Structure 1
Amino acid sequence: MADQFYTCLMFEGDAEDALEFYLSVFEDSSVITSQRFRQTEPMAGALKLAQLRLGEHRIILTNTPNEHDFTFTPSASIFVSCRSGRELNAYAEKLAKGGRYIMPAATYAFSRRYAWVEDRFGVSWQLNLP
């Protein structure tokens, strides 16, 4: 039986930029492991794979030298339960920079404060104040 579950995000060359960005947005975050492409591989020296901790959630970021006909979609998102409206607003503002708001930070019938943001890498984040 599986005992660990991760979100896996595949990037086409900008996984290291995404990793640094997420570390800057979320204070309670760290790199658990990372691996770089060998000098004999495509993308030599670039980040190949990293395991990132955001709070208690683990995310794997991978880089691929291959171009794909697909990318991220808002139908799959990372859901963040925030401790305060101020925290939610700060995350939303940072994540939306260079990206976009799908739903702006506001009060909705289902939440006292909520925002849905797509970051500059195309990753979708749902931020909620329970």
Structure 2
Amino acid sequence: MKQQITTFLTFQGNNAEEAMNFYVELFDNSKVINVQRYGKDGPGLEGTIVKAIFELNGTPFICSDSFIKHEWSFTPAVSSWVECNTKEEIEHLYAKLSENGDVKMPLDNYGFSKQFAFVEDRFGVSWQLNLE
């Protein structure tokens, strides 16, 4: 069996499905593949996600709603790098991902690329957007 490494997003606000659907709508060539939900007998809130598998532009991701409240959440030290093909694409992604989020580095020319931005979206997930 081939080993595969997949990004796993653990949400603590029972908003994994909202985040997953937001990302799938935002990125081309994306889809939800499988969703497993907690039932009425728990341990998580009924209807929230035990494990969901989805793809963003063909790249696999997994997410869940953690019923255990951890002392940690997402950190900007780990982020997803998005290589954009056009100025319109990076501007669109920047606008959508930064809405109600936290802009770490606004969209600008930082010398290492034509356009670059570092944002933490409203769910706490960090994204680096790049236009070569």
Hey, which bits of structure 1, 4+ residues long, moved more than 2 A?
A: none
1:41-120 correspondence runs (5 A): 41=42, 42-120=44-122
Instruction: Give the corresponding residue for 1:27.
Output: 28
Query: Aligned to 1:87, what secondary structure does the other structure show?
Result: helix
Identity of aligned residues (%): 38
How far, CA to CA, are the matches of 1:44 and 1:121 in structure 2?
21
CA offsets, 1:86-107, max 9 Å, x none? 1011001000111021111111
How far, CA to CA, are the matches of 2:47 and 2:37 in structure 1?
6
CA offsets, 1:36-79, max 9 Å, x none? 11221131122221111011211111111111110111100001
CA offsets, 1:2-44, max 9 Å, x none? 5321111100111011112112221321011111112211311
How far, CA to CA, are the matches of 1:121 and 1:105 in structure 2?
20
Residue type matched to 2:28 in 1? E
Residues 2, 76 of structure 1: alpha-carbon distance in 2 compared, 3 angstrom cutoff: farther
Query: Aligned to 1:111, what secondary structure does the other structure show?
Result: coil
Aligned pairs, number: 130
Query: Aligned to 1:108, what secondary structure does the other structure show?
Result: coil
How far, CA to CA, are the matches of 1:55 and 1:40 in structure 2?
35
Instruction: Give the corresponding residue for 1:9.
Output: 9
Query: Once superposed, what is the RMSD of the aligned Cα atoms?
Result: 1.3
Task: Extract unaligned runs of 5+ from structure 1.
Answer: none
Query: Aligned to 1:40, what secondary structure does the other structure show?
Result: coil
Task: Extract unaligned runs of 5+ from structure 2.
Answer: none
Residues 103, 52 of structure 1: alpha-carbon distance in 2 compared, 3 angstrom cutoff: same
Q: Is 1:125 matched with 2:127?
A: yes
Task: State the TM-score, normalizing by the size of structure 2.
Answer: 0.92
